């Protein structure tokens, strides 16, 4: 079955760190750009970060640049998000999402999503 | 960076046509994508590349584009279509992706 499963969420104090993981199965993980997208409680979707298939290209939203680090291990079919210096406004469900195209021309959208993992930043 | 603007809410009766707009300067140059998110679930793409429909998405979902505005049209709305809908786009290199604020579709 083609799926993405996130893990690693939880309660953390402001200024703390957390590492999210996303396990992929049912498709050739190493061929796809991958992303993290988050959704604060009762709010809309916000793209957080993207990483190319070979990790050559990495992008961040301005809101997390310098605090979050995206990475992947293609041998383990896994995507990660290291989150440091966490703030209350980082509280959200974090989704792992696959890019919608595997070859050029690339279309920058998300065709497969996980169910998300909740991160709560609170003292 | 750029922004995408959607109406916060749209209401229609069952069987009617719902139209949800999304506007932004980037849409005249880049494709738009639409996602449906039902309560407590992950988003699902319902339209990609302005007007293409993924397999498994009902034919009543369609998309169109004109200048800096794209429109998601749901013909013959059903109760099960009640959800939040988000438009999304990106710059040409994929280095920046953006979502609209979302539109809550209510089926009366």
Beta strands in chain B (DSSP E): 9-12, 18-23, 33-37, 44-47, 61-66, 69-74, 83-90, 97-99, 103-107
Q: What is the SS3 string spanning A58-99?
A: EEECCCCCCCEEEEEEHHHCEEEEEECCCCHHHCEEEEEEEE
pLDDT surpassing 80 at residue A105: no
Closest-CA residue in chain B for A104? B93
Which residues fall within 8 angstroms of residue A28, CB to CB, at 6 or more apart?
A: A102
CA distance B70 to B86: 12
Q: What tens-digit pLDDT sequence spans chain B (108 residues)?
A: 589 999 999 999 999 999 999 999 989 999 999 999 999 999 999 999 999 999 999 999 999 999 999 999 999 999 999 999 999 999 888 889 999 999 999 999
- For tokens 């009902």, the residue is B58
Question: What residues contact residue A86 under an 8 Å CB cut-off, 6+ apart?
Answer: A12, A13, A14, A15, A16, A17, A18, A67, A119, A121
Sign for the CA dihedral angle at A90, A116, A114, B11 comes to negative
Question: Smallest Cβ distance to B1: which of A46, A62, A108?
Answer: A62
Pairs of CB atoms within 8 A across A/B: 68
pLDDT in tens, A32-67: 999 999 999 999 999 999 999 999 999 999 999 999
Asked if A95 lies within 8 A of B42 by C-beta distance, the reply is: yes
Determine the 3-state secondary structure of B80 from DSSP.
helix
Closest CA to B14 of B63, B82, B86: B82
State the nearest Cα–Cα gap between A93 and chain B, in angstroms. Answer: 10
Residues of A in contact with B57 (CB under 8 A): none
């Amino acid at each position: 079955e083609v799926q993405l499963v996130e893990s690693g969420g939880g309660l953390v104090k402001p200024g703390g760190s957390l590492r999210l993981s996303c396990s992929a199965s049912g498709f050739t993980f190493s061929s796809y750009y991958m992303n993290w997208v988050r959704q604060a409680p009762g709010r809309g979707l916000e793209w957080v970060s993207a990483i190319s298939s070979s990790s050559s290209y990495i992008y961040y939203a301005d809101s997390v640049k310098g605090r979050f680090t995206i990475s992947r291990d293609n041998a383990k079919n896994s995507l990660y998000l290291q989150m440091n210096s966490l703030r209350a406004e980082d509280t959200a469900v974090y989704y792992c999402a696959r890019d919608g195209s595997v070859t050029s021309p690339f279309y920058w959208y998300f065709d497969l999503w996980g169910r998300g993992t909740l991160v709560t930043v609170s003292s | 960076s750029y922004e995408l603007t959607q109406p916060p809410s749209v209401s229609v009766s069952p069987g009617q046509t719902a139209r949800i707009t999304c506007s932004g300067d980037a849409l005249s140059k880049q494709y738009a994508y639409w996602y449906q998110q039902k309560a407590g679930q992950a988003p699902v793409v319902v339209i990609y590349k302005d007007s293409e429909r993924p397999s498994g998405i009902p034919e009543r979902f369609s998309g169109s584009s004109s200048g800096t505005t794209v429109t998601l049209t749901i013909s013959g709305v059903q109760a099960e279509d009640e959800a939040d809908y988000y438009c999304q786009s990106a710059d040409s290199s994929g280095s920046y992706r953006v979502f609209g604020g979302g539109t809550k579709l209510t089926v009366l």
